[in-house]
Structure 1
Amino acid sequence: MGNETNGGPGEPGSGRPGEQTDAGDGIEIRAIGEDEVEAWDRALAKGFLRPHVGSAAEFRRRQWEPGRMVGALADGRFVATFRSFDTELTVPGGAVVTADAITAVTVTATHRRRGLLRRMMTTDLEAARERGAAVAILIAAEYNIYGRYGFGPATRGHGWNIDLLRAGGLRDGLPTVPGGRIDLVEMAELRKLGPELFDRWRVTQAGAIARDELTWQRQTGEIEVPGFDWKEPFAAVHRGADGTPTGLAVYRIDDEWDGSYPNCTLTLVDLFALDRPTANELWRFVCSIDWVRKVVVENVGADDPLPVLLNDPRAATPHVDNADYMWLRVLDIEAAFNARTYGAAGRAVLEVDDPAGYVAGRWAVEVAADGTGRCVRTADEPDLALDASALGALYLGGETLPRLAVAGLVTELRPGAVAAADLLFRTPLTAWNIDGF
């Protein structure tokens, strides 16, 4: 899919959506016109320390929306970039909320520490709130930047390296799909069946976001973006007994040999399934391809049972890139928390500190026996105190209240409140975002 992780420093500034802003330093921040996309793209490449890559202007023009690509100009040259777009984010329980997805954030090295990021971010978040977005999301290149804007790490990127000779394949007796089959499909067919299958899956996984047509075109090679090398992958579709697609695995194989012995590595690009038996069959297929000796799974749910599906779970060792992945900032606490479901009936009163004001105040989260809940302002004494960043980390269930409390990010104001509220916010499986953006 190709990540464009965010990065850049920030200091106080201001601005309104679409307006030209100048903090008195001669630097103008504004939304760019479609005719400026090529210059903006070059600044983006340099900001990501990749001036050598070819122009991606044609691709960027397809991403352009009025008011959503922003640049900072000094002496007529772009010295900072910023882009956002609206997407759907699945929350615990399967509902979706509108998320302001922030990406392509750069500040040129010559213009750091001048408040450019803060001015762009402040303007974007205000506009997102006015449009009705419940949350904002991003993927952070550096950990210490985005907490100051109320973002918290909401999902983890987690992966495994599997030594297939040690693993001994998947265990016998795992649930399977009677009459099911796996077919390899070409990229043109993947473009046709992938979007509908993914849309059915993403509402089952908290933390998943929607994919647009451009994403599928990139993944299948219909569009290639300079700087993001594309190699045609294999695509394996699992179908139920009636022929309906129920899961997908997309992977690449490095053709390597140790002398006369095959020593190939399979790198997984995508794997998602509508049910556990389908997932089991896809994992069994991926782990049984001739000549493959190692499977690299770069991003899977942090608590996915993959290792314990193997005959020897020790054959799965953690991937080197395991770390925080998608960060989240709550913009409308009532819309966000009313949309998700909860783990147990109860009530918790949160005192939220938010200098930006979006979620500041005292809020009661009230959960019914069926797991539905509502979030309302209250004057009752608070049970817990936290800031907007910790709220963002907690929202999808990617973090737990006990961990946040032990880390000093949540303060227990009533004895026993952390344990009681933890039951409310717990989710069956942790949130997971399969996609970069």
Structure 2
Amino acid sequence: MQPLRWAEWDAWFDTLDVAFGGVADAPERRAWWREVTEIDRMLAVRDGADTVATGGAFSFGLTVPGGVELPVAGVTAVSVLPTHRRRGVLRSMMRHQLTDVHERGEALAVLTASEPAIYGRFGYGVATQGLAMTVDTVRLAAPDLPGVDGVRLRLADPVATVPDCERVYAQLVPDRPGMLARRPGWERQGVLDPESERDGAGMLQCVLAEVDGEVRGYARYAVTPEWDRSGPHGQVNVRQVEALDTVVYAALWRYLFGIDLTASVAVRGRPVDDPLPHLVADQRRCQLGLQEALFIRPVDVGAALAARMYRTPVEVVLEVADDFCPWNAGRWRLSGDEKGAACERTSDPADLALSVRELGSAYLGGFSLAALAGAGRVRELRPGALAAATLAFGSDVAPWLPHGF
């Protein structure tokens, strides 16, 4: 296992493509991946001259409850060729990477999983979900709120508008746990639009929402046209829609509902508390669905728990099991409230027992400790401790991962 060198990047990425089915990325997307690569964080496992496994991480800031931006390792590009499975390659790579993350002083590692069952054994717990919606815009009236007519909507070039959209996004980041503070280059991910990836849709479009000359929201989308003997019934495929207030948000959705020659609007990966289902009259016509999104792995339990704030005062001793990163194992006393927290090792009796995986699931407030206890994954050792900790770990808004990596 060796750090990657720039001269090896193409062969390394070819291995990643093969491991994920052999369908190569479009040249535009491949070039972008190379541009955002942090070469000192990428790993290659070799058998002779051949690269047989890959892994790496990106550096992000992650919003945690209380609005703090915490440096995290965004684990990515993890693959092992079929010829080298079941040899402990992945386990060795995960151990090497988590040791490196710990030495860098990052309290959390995060990832999105192509196969979620793989990562639980390395201590990653699912921490956020994404909401998918396909809305029948023929049968449902467009969202409307007082003031939407005062929002100016303007179609503009998606690439040229990246700075305006990024300013909107950056203002939203501190307000919702799970959002990523992006490093340079990542703002262009949302406007990559290779023709080979459109799957029958047209080119990417961007509409800006302005109030008094200020851009306060945007939507990026593409239309998939479809016709039959009854006429047009295309679909609006929404990639991103963000707004700084509810009126602008409603105005953007009203626009998306009203695009000519379409009969539905589809969007994936929205927050589970997204307002859209409450802006229409019939949620059944929204075809709602959920899928796991961000997985979190506490790499430094004490630092991670001390970095966030808590919805109610909490004083609890956690017995944490962590076979993969043994420096986390043991008892930790967490004391915190809405102003801050401290988390230190202790020899006092434990109030709750759980593994680092459950701690990751509960960390952003997306999954409750009580629900995890109901599944037998958290044990209450002191009566009343579970209810108090569940309330304290909660979040007023649902955690949300805005995009993959």
Please classify the TM superposition score into its range, dividing by the shorter chain length. over 0.9
Within the alignment, does 1:392 sit opposite 2:363 as a pair? no
Partner of 1:112: 85
Instruction: Tell me if structure 1 keeps the 8 A contact 2:142–2:253.
Output: no
> What letter matches 1:325 in structure 2?
A
**After superposition, where does 1:18-417 map in structure 2 within 5 Å?**
29-51=1-23, 58-170=31-143, 172=144, 174=145, 176=147, 179-221=150-192, 232-241=203-212, 243-259=213-229, 261-319=231-289, 322-355=290-323, 356-368=325-337, 370-417=338-385
SS at match of 2:361: helix
Partner of 1:7: none
> What letter matches 2:330 in structure 1?
G
Using the size of structure 2 for normalisation, the TM-score is 0.92
CA gap of 1:226–1:367, structure 2 versus 1, over 3 A, is same
In the alignment, the residues of structure 2 paired with residue 134 and residue 59 of structure 1 have an alpha-carbon distance, to the nearest angstrom, of 28
In the alignment, the residues of structure 2 paired with residue 103 and residue 419 of structure 1 have an alpha-carbon distance, to the nearest angstrom, of 35
Using the size of structure 1 for normalisation, the TM-score is 0.86
- Shift of residue 216 of structure 1? 3.1
- Shift of residue 115 of structure 1? 1.0
Instruction: Tell me if structure 2 keeps the 8 A contact 1:180–1:239.
Output: yes
> What letter matches 1:258 in structure 2?
D
In the alignment, the residues of structure 1 paired with residue 47 and residue 196 of structure 2 have an alpha-carbon distance, to the nearest angstrom, of 26
Within the alignment, does 1:421 sit opposite 2:389 as a pair? yes
- Shift of residue 62 of structure 1? 2.1
CA gap of 1:184–1:143, structure 2 versus 1, over 3 A, is same
In the alignment, the residues of structure 2 paired with residue 259 and residue 190 of structure 1 have an alpha-carbon distance, to the nearest angstrom, of 38
> What letter matches 1:373 in structure 2?
A
Instruction: Tell me if structure 2 keeps the 8 A contact 1:46–1:108.
Output: yes
- Shift of residue 305 of structure 1? 2.7
In the alignment, the residues of structure 2 paired with residue 163 and residue 51 of structure 1 have an alpha-carbon distance, to the nearest angstrom, of 33
Moved more, 59-68 or 309-318: 59-68
CA gap of 1:52–1:150, structure 2 versus 1, over 3 A, is closer
Q: How many residues align?
A: 402
- Quote the sequence identity (%): 35
CA RMSD in angstroms comes to 2.3
Instruction: Tell me if structure 2 keeps the 8 A contact 1:167–1:316.
Output: no
SS at match of 2:359: helix
Instruction: Tell me if structure 2 keeps the 8 A contact 1:220–1:232.
Output: no
> What letter matches 1:34 in structure 2?
W
In the alignment, the residues of structure 2 paired with residue 98 and residue 231 of structure 1 have an alpha-carbon distance, to the nearest angstrom, of 37
Instruction: Tell me if structure 2 keeps the 8 A contact 1:53–1:226.
Output: no
In the alignment, the residues of structure 2 paired with residue 325 and residue 297 of structure 1 have an alpha-carbon distance, to the nearest angstrom, of 15
Query: Which consecutive residues of structure 1, in runs of 5 or more, have no partner in the other structure?
Result: 1-28
Moved more, 92-101 or 328-337: 328-337
CA gap of 1:399–1:218, structure 2 versus 1, over 3 A, is closer
CA gap of 1:35–1:114, structure 2 versus 1, over 3 A, is same
CA gap of 1:54–1:344, structure 2 versus 1, over 3 A, is closer
Instruction: Tell me if structure 2 keeps the 8 A contact 1:252–1:266.
Output: yes
